[in-house]
Structure 1
């Protein structure tokens, strides 16, 4: 018998046989992800959006524990959007059973705006529900804004306790899970929006440099990429999944 024996590669994960677990943005709900979920259900065996408390403060560690309890028994891909990137990174670094891949969409592993770190405490007292619609539209949607998206965004934010939104914003300015990137052993895809006015490009660069073999796909769109380009985002994820093994 020849030594060493020849080892074949496992087949690439098939999206149609894989579940998708989504960790949402700052709102912590599925309300802004309807179109993306509808597209994803056409390609994945099961799609689950983990939701966070609307009226109770929860640290990143507590949200990580909540998300861990929602992981399926079958093979799955974990998607962390925006605010939830650090949660997804921490979970993937623990290498849970069944995890076949990690997708990080317009997100970060550490404070995406370092210059604002000294203001993290002040963020807890900011008037979360008083931001002008124009400011939200400019920073989150840009020229991809539509009346329907603006209405849905405003309605969703109104449904979250202001103290919760403020606390999450402050937590994002303090978090740093970059040391855990090297522990991630599954194929990883970073979705970058071409016109993200909220996330500095260094946020994605940090992730790509920290996770061995991580790939990046840039799609036309603003920070709310999954909301404005649901079909393109889903297609990018499914296509990537068929090429990794």
Structure 2
């Protein structure tokens, strides 16, 4: 029964709005209890501050599954350690536990106006984020959400990624972990997902054809992988 399952907590990427989960949420609605998180622009630029915000949003929910997209990976890892046994499983999609790219430090020093402009370049969004063959509707949605971000917010969130340092915490977690890894990820350094796989010992790894914005480009394929994995977990001797 849906009421007996843990709540699936959707933690967004750099946009922080949760709006880009729209297509994915349609697949969940009526099948699984979920909560979509939004990050206010004025949150302090620290992983712990973001984790505390999600903890407040979850409230008294005593059993949760964290699904973290990209930027939210280190936040979800830290939150899983904070909430301990309340977190029954962790899903990391196109994410990382350590610095995602060598250029993050450089990007965090780019002038705010330039950052805002770069976030609206449709050719760059296609190449790095949604894939060359993404429908125009997806490109429009991503452009709209990134355009709402101020250059200051983008810069502050990028600064959080210079040294997120969730590696030790991830190694210490004792809970089921699923990694959804896009095969055509052009936004992360190739070593970032490989490093994540080594740190998440015992994790189930699913590789899917798609770009960095995997939950947006392949929502049905991602949901099938998640459901299959959760079904296996529920059949184990110590179900969630």
Q: TM-score range by the shorter chain?
A: 0.7 to 0.9
Higher normalized contact order (CA 8 Å, seq sep 6+, divided by chain length): 1
Q: 1:76 to 1:161 in 2, by over 3 A?
A: same
Runs of at least 5 residues in structure 2 that lack an aligned partner in the other structure: none
C-alpha contact (below 8 Å) 1:89/1:181 kept by paired residues: yes
Report the alpha carbon displacement of residue 75 of structure 1 after superposing the two structures with TM: 2.3
Report the alpha carbon displacement of residue 215 of structure 1 after superposing the two structures with TM: 1.2
Alignment partner for residue 49 of structure 1, among 9, 32, 36? 36
Aligned to 1:157: 146
Aligned to 1:138: 127
Runs of at least 5 residues in structure 1 that lack an aligned partner in the other structure: 1-12
Aligned to 1:206: 195
Distance 2:3 2:134 in 1: 30
SS of residue in 2 equivalent to 1:173:
coil
**CA RMSD of the aligned region, Å?**
2.2
Aligned to 2:209: 220
Q: 1:143 to 1:118 in 2, by over 3 A?
A: closer
Query: What TM-score comes out, normalization by structure 2 length?
Result: 0.88
Q: 1:42 to 1:202 in 2, by over 3 A?
A: farther
Post-superposition CA distance 1:50-70 (Å, at most 9, x none): 110135553222111101112
Post-superposition CA distance 1:90-130 (Å, at most 9, x none): 111234343110000000001011x3255254146462221
> If you compute each CA radius of gyration, which structure gives the higher value, 1 or 2?
1
C-alpha contact (below 8 Å) 1:123/1:169 kept by paired residues: no
Moved more, 63-72 or 187-196: 63-72
